[in-house]
Structures are given as C-alpha cells and as structure tokens.
Amino acid sequence: MTSPSLAELPPLREALERHGLLARKSFGQHFLLDLNITRKIARLAEVGEGDTVIEVGPGPGGLTRALLETGAKVVAIEKDSRFLPLLGELADAADGRLTLVEGDALRADMATLAGGGPAHMVSNLPYNVGTQLLINWLTGPFRPLSMTLMFQKEVADRIAAQDGDDAYGRLAVLSQTVCSARVVMDLPARAFTPPPKVASAVARLVPLEPAPDKAMVSALERVTAAAFGQRRKMLRSSLKPIGGGALCEAAGIDPDARAETIPIEGFQALATALLKA
Ligand code: SAM
C-alpha cells in the first residue's frame, strides 16, 4: 500500500485519537492542532525549500507538517516515545525530508542534529524547559540561521524587552547580545490542546554578525546575575563582589544607576571592563 501524501494525511485530532494519545503535563505538552496556526508560524520562520530546520518537541506533528509543506527538511527531536509511531506516518508522507530523533533536547548537540550544516530552529517549546533550552543555544557553540520559538508570553516578552520595561532583565541582555530579537505573534491559551494557564507568544531571534566574543558573553552573565540579582540597588552596591563602583567607572557607567535603566550596550561595556580587570 502506498503512503498518503502530506496533503492526504488525516486531521491531527483524528490521528491523536487513533493512537490513543493524551497530553502529559510532565512533558509540558500543549498541542497546536489547527494547521492554519502552524502554517502561520512556518511563514514567520521564513523557511522553505532546501532549508534544514531543527524542531524540538514535534509531539503530534502539527508544526512539523507545516514546516514540511514549505519544502524544508526537518530534523525533529522528541522525548516522549509515545509520539514516534504517529510521527513515523508523517515521515512516510514526507519523501525522506523528515528525520526523527528520540531524545532529550537539553542534552542533544544541535550541530549534530543539523548534520554539520546550517539550520534554522523552529519549535513550540515545552514550557517547563523553554528558557533553559534558549539559554543553552545562546551560549552554546552552534549558531543557527534563525530561531522562531513559542514560549509563554511572559518569557517571550523578557527576551525582547528594552531597558526601562518591566520585563527587562538577564534574558533580554543575553538574547539581544547574541541575536536580534522580537515578538512576532501572540496566541491565546485557547489555541492549544489542552490549554495552558497563560497566553503564549512566538519570539524570533536572528544571530548577530559578527558573533560576540565567548569570553565577553560569559563575563556578561556574571555582570547581569549580580546586577539583576539585586535590581533595586545601585550598581555600585549590587556589583560590589565583582568590582562595584570602580568597574562602573572603567566601563563609563553611572555607579548610582540601577540595572533596569542600563541599556544592553552598557552591560556589554561592564562585561568588557570585567574581562580587563
Ligand atoms: N510541537 C507540538 C505542537 O506544537 O503541537 C508539541 C508542542 S508541546 C508544547 C512540547 C513538546 O516537546 C511535547 O511533544 C513534549 O513531549 C516535547 N518535549 C518535552 N520536553 C522535551 C525535551 N527535553 N526534549 C525534547 N522534546 C521534549
């Protein structure tokens, strides 16, 4: 019997029922079963024929289907083995363009998943590990072409925040030192099955050229941990363990300012001064 083509596959809800699959909270499972939504995410990701895409957590494969429809090759890593038979049907319909990997994305090497070449990353991330995954990718050796990632809205806002915003903190400084970052889509909780407690949003991050120096990024993490760990204090006090007022002066930053008012370039200057200290 020949396999159905992508266009002939049954609706996702039907496929889930046929395989008797229910969402598991411990895996952060909230599914997108509306292909209009997953196709919109694939468009926002700007991927197409000839591209390689890494997807973390394909689950029932709604986003995977939309990515495959663009003509891209997809490498999908899923921790919950229950989904592999259903995803196997999608692979059969995809003419060899879908590679399935059973594993934990927190431990996986993205360069290996990408097959040694360039790749985009597009995912509806499990919320319980989404922030940790992003930090791993921002600080790790693999530089994707772009990342189009669904998070809880509060996390997406923290990634793209500007100085002075309530959401501005360590994640904004790290994300925007390594990438350009913006929120490109908001989604209400009811768009997911089962609905999570909070709204979601897609952040799009594109690595900046040239790549920031690794040592500067490590120093930046030390500076922002100290500065935002005590965000209501003046920098001369919150940064005391790593140089306080003298570090601020070396970086040309007002030591009486608070972390939330310092733009990203200010933190980069502090990190550079810390490396020279
Ligand atoms: N992409 C699907 C969608 O949009 O309907 C599912 C998204 S659901 C929010 C997150 C998915 O990530 C689930 O399929 C879950 O099993 C998987 N997952 C959770 N933790 C993971 C991990 N550490 N590594 C890989 N996949 C993981």
Domains of the chain, by residue range, sit at 12-207, 214-276
**Would you say residue 101 has pLDDT above 90?**
yes
73 lines ligand 1 (CB under 6 A): no
Fold topology of 12-207:
Rossmann fold (3.40.50)
Superfamily for 214-276?
A: rRNA adenine dimethylase, C-terminal domain (1.10.8.100)
What is the H or E stretch that residue 207 is in?
A: strand 200-207
Q: How far apart are CA 175 and CA 181, in angstroms?
A: 7
**53-100 residue pLDDT tens:** 999 999 999 999 999 999 999 999 999 999 999 999 999 999 999 999
**138-194 residue pLDDT tens:** 999 999 999 999 999 999 999 999 999 999 999 999 999 999 999 999 999 999 999
C-alpha of residue 265 to centroid of ligand 1, in Å:
34
**pLDDT confidence of residue 76:** 98
Mean pLDDT of the chain: 96
Would you say 105 and 79 are in contact if contact means Cβ atoms under 8 Å apart? yes
105 lines ligand 1 (CB under 6 A): yes
In the β-sheet with 200-207, what is the strand arrangement from edge to edge? 98-102, 73-78, 52-56, 120-124, 147-152, 200-207, 179-187
Residue whose CA is closest, atom 3 of ligand 1? 31
Phi and psi torsions of 251, nearest 5°: -95, -5
Whether the predicted interface score ipTM is above 0.90: yes
**pLDDT confidence of residue 1:** 62
Would you say 273 and 246 are in contact if contact means Cβ atoms under 8 Å apart? no
